[in-house]
A = this chain, B = another copy of it.
Amino acid sequence: MAAVDLTTHPGHLARRLQQAHYLLWNTMVSEEITSPQFAVLNTLVAEPGLDQRTVGERVGLDRSTIAEVISRLGRRGLLDKVRDPQDGRRFLLRLTDEGLRTHRKLTVRTARMNQVFLAPLSAEEQSVFFDLLRRVSDAAEGLRNPTGRPAEPLAARS
């Protein structure tokens, strides 16, 4: 008793949605390159020479995660890191030819996958879907712990 219906919890639905996407991506786009990795490639196609932190900001990955993703893409030879001569803290990132080729290939497959993923919705519903998701995400982003006060611990420790 007192249990809740998880299908009315936005967080639960968000997680399921993301998992569903992950699985479809694996079957329809690539088992080698992940969706966040594609987002990074895409950002560097639009803006070559960006530094790591800025790329992370563009695609919505924190400093640690973007470092890992970049390192994997580098190991696979899809991008190059060079130290910024103007600012020795930064690494400037640029796709290799192989990286460009991969991006091109995945762009086509991703478009196909998105169609399949959104097929259950009508065109108007798809617009609403984008609008609602964007609005909720953007609003939550503005809430990032402005007070610096974390959630209270569960146990009132003696």
Contacts of A1 in B (CB 8 A): 45
Beta-carbon contacts under 8 Å, A27-82 to B:
27-33, 35-36, 39, 42-43, 45-46, 59-60
Q: Which one, B106, B119, B141, B151, contacts A31 given CB within 8 A?
A: B151
Cβ–Cβ contact B117 & A125, under 8 A? no
Residue A15 at the chain B interface, CB threshold 8 Å? yes
Q: Which one, B7, B26, B33, B129, contacts A154 given CB within 8 A?
A: B33
Contacts of A36 in B (CB 8 A): 15
Given A42-B3, A117-B10, verify A32-B153 contact (CB < 8 Å).
yes
Smallest Cβ-Cβ distance to A76: which chain B residue = B154
Given A2-B104, A154-B32, verify A39-B26 contact (CB < 8 Å).
no
Interface size class of A (residues with CB under 8 A): 35 or more
A97-141 to B contact mask, C-beta < 8 Å, 1/0: 000001111110110001011111100010011101111111111
Cβ–Cβ contact A16 & B154, under 8 A? no
Cβ–Cβ contact B30 & A154, under 8 A? yes
Complex A-B: 17 CB contacts under 8 Å: A3-B43, A8-B130, A9-B114, A10-B117, A11-B22, A13-B134, A17-B18, A17-B136, A23-B140, A23-B144, A26-B150, A27-B149, A32-B153, A105-B154, A109-B151, A119-B139, A120-B135
Chain A positions within 8 Å of B, measured between CB atoms, are 1-4, 6-33, 35-36, 39, 42-43, 45-46, 59-60, 102-107, 109-110, 114, 116-121, 125, 128-130, 132-141, 143-145, 149-151, 153-154
